[in-house]
Amino acid sequence: MGAQHVAVSIDTSPPPSLPRAWYRHLYLQVLVAIVLGIALGHFAPATGEALKPLGDAFIKLVKMVIAPVIFLTIVTGIAGLRDLVAVGRVALKAMAYFLTFSTLALLLGMLVANTVKPGAGLVVNQAAADPTKIADYAAKAHDTTLSGFLLDMIPDTLVSALTAGNILQTLLVAILFGVALTMVGKPGERLLAALEDLSRVVFKLVGLVMILAPLGAFGAMAFTIGKYGLGAVASLATLVATFYLTSLFFVLVILGLVARASGFSIFRLIAYLKAELLLVLGTSSSESALPALIEKMEDAGCPKSVVGLVVPAGYSFNLDGTNIYLTLAALFIAQAYGIDLSWGQQAALLGVAMLSSKGAAGVTGAGFITLAATLAIVPTVPIEGMALILGVDRFMSECRSLTNFIGNAVATIVVSRWEGRLDSDRLDAALHGRAAGFAEFDPGSVKA
């Protein structure tokens, strides 16, 4: 009787990973940190104000990795694409999107300001304003011109673009380097492979930095509440509430319609980015979540070449929240001083805001500085009136950053779809949390 051979199938696939404990989710850790920071800043203002270095240190750590992340993402994306015409097409589509929705945001802020009139209840004596309170901001605004902004895009050296912390300089050098690497052809393949390996290391570094996100959010929020207090909001509650509701309308309705037309839900996208949005809220800086946004957009099916171009450029040119703030705050100040601007004057204000919002791109506190630059060119509205809103600007900065962040996420998906290169299955899986690693940015399992 012959021997019988029995085939044995051995499953070598890794066992399914167990769900993480609830307390290990980054968004919950950041949320708890924000609540604790608010409590500490409210009940112990001096202590909360003293914790400012925690938030500053975390943001500096993030800024430390922003330039390498942008450079590696763009270079490997362009070189991997090997089609310079496609790169130019993506850039043109992105700028068309940015210009359209930046203008819509400015118009929305102007429309709401004329309808709600948040500053009409205040009657301010022009002579009573203290210009010394905004002297530093006015000086920065004076130094920030459109021509200066364009010249500042060019770094002093090729390497300084990666060390100066200027996003636009990094963007310019990365695009040029990626194009040059593509033109080299086969000899550049070894360098491209090395850069792809390096990107894995850098994104792992991002994961290590993000572990400290709750600590940074705690320190930044404790400082904000400790220094400015919740009472500052109450004194200008109408302006703050109007700005928040207008930004909410822009995100949920305008961007919501854009998202629906592109085949996804704005609510699903917000849920997908919840950890990053809480981090932006806690630190009042959208830059703190820039590396994570690049990672999440790639995980959601957007091609690396599109993500690398749209996200960094959007951080300078697609500032929806800042644009809403510009026209709303400028008209608030005019209304507070009893200045009745004609539609022609408001149109001029709109045009100036369009230019100045690009001139102050990438500057720390860009929203307030851009407002100063706008009012400096439009003498009808007194620039010293900015002192009226200085106390609540920090609270509005959080809303500006959140709106800017969501706007750039939507832009990345839309441009990817326009290019016909969006992986709809991956996007659907990411937004519904059906794929491992898509539900939230996990610092422990970052991949390039």
State the CATH number of the domain containing residue 47. 1.10.3860.10
Task: Supply the pLDDT for residue 371.
Answer: 80
Distance of CA 12 to the CA centre of its chain: 42
> Do residues 364 and 166 lie in contact, with contact meaning Cβ atoms separated by under 8 Å?
no
Give the whole-number percent of the chain exceeding pLDDT 70: 81
Q: State which amino acid sits at residue 428.
A: D
What is the model's pTM?
A: 0.79
DSSP alpha helix (H) spans, 284-392: 290-299, 304-317, 320-336, 343-359, 366-377
4 lies in some domain: no
Residue 11 resides in a domain: no
**What are the phi and psi torsion angles at 340 (to 5°)?**
-95, 105
Number of domains forming the structure of the chain = 1
Question: Residue 36: what pLDDT?
Answer: 92
* Rounded average pLDDT over 313-319: 85
448 belongs to a structural domain = no
pLDDT above 90: percentage of residues in the chain: 26
- Whether residue 144 lies inside any domain: the answer is yes
> Predicted confidence band at 135 (pLDDT cuts at 50, 70, 90)?
low
- 448 falls in which pLDDT band (50, 70, 90)? very low
- Does residue 38 form part of some domain? yes
pLDDT digits (tens, 9 = 90+) for 412-425: 999 999 999 899 99
pLDDT at 300 over 90: yes
Identify whether 342 is part of a domain.
yes
Given a cut of 70, is residue 447 above it in pLDDT? no
Q: Which domain holds residue 58?
A: 22-440
Is residue 335 a part of any domain in this protein? yes
The mean of the pLDDT values for the chain is 81
- Does 16 map to a domain? no
